[in-house]
Amino acid sequence: AQSVTQLGSHVSVSEGALVLLRCNYSSSVPPYLFWYVQYPNQGLQLLLKYTSAATLVKGINGFEAEFKKSETSFHLTKPSAHMSDAAEYFCAVSEGGADGLTFGKGTHLIIQP
Amino acid sequence: GAVVSQHPSRVICKSGTSVKIECRSLDFQATTMFWYRQFPKQSLMLMATSNEGSKATYEQGVEKDKFLINHASLTLSTLTVTSAHPEDSSFYICSASLAGGTDTQYFGPGTRLTVL
């Protein structure tokens, strides 16, 4: 069985500040890890994914995440927050094959002007 | 590219009726489609996985006779909520991928179902 834990249901940062959204996973096999963003009244959009290649993954909109096996983590970061980054962020894990995704509970990112 | 649409975006129905939700991959062929359910302010929960031309695989606790899934073609999957009740009210989201699991899943915008 696999699971995802996102620490912090709400994260608030100032515009221009570092964004750090935490994600820890558990998986019985090498995982595939994803970060999705959901804007209000819209579907989920893939930010980035880790599929056993480079441990530092760069995504869209300046986001990146680092896979750390020893810490079972896949935290999402962005050096400088923008007002348009305000949204709900979901971390997800898949064990491959024909599995669907197991999602974390999501983190609501608030950007303070 | 990789656009997934859902129809309808919102539906309100009376208790006891059935509702069909369509999920289409508009510009690619999807060998696998997934159906998720999202409760307010909560995460997405996988309901079932469907491969074109075969029966869907349901997650534990999901009633297959209540949530009928048909994946008739490589671009269309449907979810029918049969004999809907108020507790079925939720946000239903589909996703599609070229190769299930490891490949990227492209998500539809979701369907808001309200059962009165």
% of chain A surpassing 70 pLDDT: 98
Average pLDDT over residues A89-100: 83
Please check whether residue A113 touches B, CB under 8 A.
no
Residue of A45, A99, A103 with shortest CB distance to B101: A99
Structure tokens given for B77: 């999957």
User: B101 to chain A: which residues are within 8 Å by CB?
Assistant: 32, 94-100
* Omega of the bond leading into B8 within 30 degrees of 0 (cis): yes
User: Rounded to an integer, what distance in angstroms lies between the CA atom of residue A12 and that of residue A19?
Assistant: 9
Model pLDDT, residue B43: 85
Model pLDDT, residue B105: 86
Q: What is the pLDDT of residues A6-29, one digit of tens each?
A: 999 999 999 999 999 999 999 888
Q: Beta-carbon neighbour count of residue B82 at 10 Å?
A: 15
Model pLDDT, residue B30: 86
pLDDT of chain B, 116 residues: tens digit per residue: 688 999 999 999 999 999 999 999 998 888 889 999 998 777 899 999 998 888 899 999 999 999 999 988 889 999 999 999 999 999 999 999 875 445 688 899 999 999 99
Q: Mean pLDDT score of chain A, rounded to an integer? A: 92
Please check whether residue A96 touches B, CB under 8 A.
yes
Q: What is the pLDDT of residues A39-55, one digit of tens each?
A: 987 889 999 999 877 89
Q: CA-nearest residue of chain B to A90?
A: B43
Residue of A44, A94, A106 with shortest CB distance to B107: A44
Q: How far is A17 from chain B (nearest CA, A)?
A: 26
CB–CB contact B100 A97 (8 Å)? yes
A101, A102, A108, best to mutate vs chain B, most B CBs in 10 Å = A101
- Identify whether the C-beta of residue A3 lies closer than 8 Å to the C-beta of residue A26: yes
More confident residue, B83 or A31: B83
- E strand residue ranges, chain B: 4-7, 10-13, 19-25, 32-38, 44-51, 57-58, 67-73, 76-81, 90-97, 106-107, 111-115
Contacting residues for A67 by C-beta, under 8 A, at least 6 apart: A33, A50, A55, A56, A57, A73, A74
B91-114 burial by CB neighbour count: b if 16+ within 10 A, else e? bbbbbbbbebbbbbbbbbbbbebe
